[in-house]
Chains A and B, each alone.
Chain A
């Protein structure tokens, strides 16, 4: 007696086509062309714009023998722009006012001012404006004369006529003008006297 022959599907087994990397339309054509059923199972995000709309994965795998009209599911790549990236750094906004010059010391004096700005993070978000640095500058200066006068200030001296150079004034005293030097001396490059 001959047994019955069971036929699984009226059209037998087929191999699942490779659709990974194909566009959805192409994938559908390949699947349907193989006598199978295409099922879009969703998307997978990608930062690669070249992959947008292409098949990311398939199930069953390519080349698998399956029954005719078996569902072949696939997911598609969905391009998502990568998050912005920025160089973490302080971004300058403005300067504060200069401070007063410091006391002249050693021939140098300085002053400073605040530097304001905001911090930019790697994801491009920013902080609020705040002081993030201090700028300083220096200049040469003439220290005040130790006697309290101002170097370069005009000054006068009275000399007795006994002073060398003043004898012609006797019995009166001499008058001499000059400018205060850094040693607190009323100095004049010219020994000029009046009486």
Chain B
């Protein structure tokens, strides 16, 4: 297995990382998507967003609505159980990433939720990079030395 890692940042600080196995089809897709600048969109205002849906200008559309003329209805966002972000390339949802609250340490969940809702950026990083590292002068460094 060969792994590729991406870090998610708010400002210059990594708050979350995701490790992808190049040999896994889902991971392979996400590696390509992240390297292509996939847009990560929060789906919390929607009851159900799946791969194949469409997104444009702040609205999601059903999988049959290629013309994106009928935006799906929105609900009150709820992050109590999950954080789900859609990966959007060329207005199409190519996949989903989620953080499950019940499987995540509470402090980590809050930190990741806050980061994901703060218009984060992401970058490919070395495998040793983890949450807390900072991007300075073109490199990721561990502030703890």
Contacts and interface: CB of A to CB of B under 8 A. Distances in A.
A193 B20 contact: no
A172 B1 contact: no
Nearest to B2: A154
B36 to A, nearest CB: 15
Contacts of A194: 18, 20, 26-27, 30, 95-98
B21 interface: yes
A169 B16 contact: no
A172 B30 CA distance: 14
A170 B1 CA distance: 25
Interface stretch (B65-73, B104-112, B117-125, B132-140): B104-112
A55 to B, nearest CB: 83
Contact of B99 (A156, A158, A173, A191): A191
Given A168-B50, A194-B26, A189 B108 contact: yes
Which of the four size classes fits the interface of chain A? 20 to 34
Contacts of B51: 169, 172, 195
B103 A165 contact: yes
A194 B96 CA distance: 6
B26 A191 contact: no
Given A177-B18, A177-B19, A195-B51, A169 B96 contact: yes
A191 B104 contact: yes
B110 to A, nearest CB: 12
Contacts of B96: 168-169, 194-195
Interface in B85-115: 95-105, 108-109, 112
Given A154-B19, A190-B112, A165 B98 contact: yes
A147 to B, nearest CB: 15
A135 interface: no
A175 interface: yes
Greatest chain A CB density within 10 A among B21, B51, B103 is at: B103
Contact of B84 (A164, A168, A172, A173): A168
Interface in A156-184: 156, 158, 164-165, 168-170, 172-175, 177
Interface of B: 1, 3, 16, 18-21, 24, 26-27, 30, 48-51, 82, 84, 95-105, 108-109, 112, 127
18 contacts: A154-B1, A156-B24, A165-B98, A165-B103, A168-B82, A168-B84, A172-B51, A175-B20, A175-B24, A175-B26, A189-B104, A189-B105, A191-B102, A193-B98, A193-B100, A194-B18, A194-B26, A195-B26
